[in-house]
Amino acid sequence: MLVFWKQRLVMLAVPKTGTSAYARALAPAASMVVSDPPELKHAPVYRYNRFFRPMFEKVGGEMELLAVIREPISWLGSWYRYRQRGFLEGKPVSTRGMDFDAFCLDYARGERPPHANVGSQAKFVEPRPNGVAVTHLFKYENQAALIGFLEDRLGLTLDLPRENVSPGRDLQLSPETEAKLRRKCAADFEVWARAQ
């Protein structure tokens, strides 16, 4: 999570949406960089609302929230590839020895096994009953709009490094699995469709 106090902007770090590269590029311009623990670095709207918003409001700041959402199948593909890495081998979260179709079927289950328990982008950005919501929601696939917004809002030029890139893998889904994902995870597809 990046906080730009003077610009009244908080960039939430939705996992698997390129936020590591933005954090590296924008850290020098940020008033606050939350990089650990992961529960705070990747604080969703509900956690921001509970812990960070009250602190900012106490010192006179109402902040706008920015988040990036990735096309849901691509987002799952990034998780799948990340969990193929050698350091996870033998752990319950590893996806080694599994194809992407099986991973997505596990994700679409009611109770997800550890390797497919990766959360939901729709839940991450879900507005709170008190009105706290993401003000600026960008598609990961529309980097030009996101970069343009950040450069304009922060008054800088961005040079993004490639960070935390997972190894390439076959990400083919059967039509049945894709249909099941679109049905079971409709909220994620709807949120992504609404983003800029």
Of residues 163 and 153, more confidently modeled: 153
DSSP string, the chain: -EEETTTTEEE---TTSSHHHHHHHHGGG-SEE--SSHHHHT--HHHIIIIIHHHHHHTT-PPEEEEEE--HHHHHHHHHHHTTSGGGTTSTT--TT--HHHHHHHHTSSS--GGG----HHHHTPPPTTS---SEEEETT-HHHHHHHHHHHHTS---PPP-SPPPP------HHHHHHHHHHTHHHHHHHHH--
**What pLDDT digit, counting tens, does each position of 58-84 carry?**
998 789 999 999 999 999 999 999 999
pTM for this entry: 0.93
**What pLDDT digit, counting tens, does each position of 81-140 carry?**
999 999 999 999 999 999 999 999 999 998 999 999 999 999 999 999 999 999 999 999
Q: Range of 118's domain?
A: 2-194
**Number of domains comprising the chain:** 1
CATH number at residue 186: 3.40.50
Per the prediction, the chain carries an average pLDDT of: 94
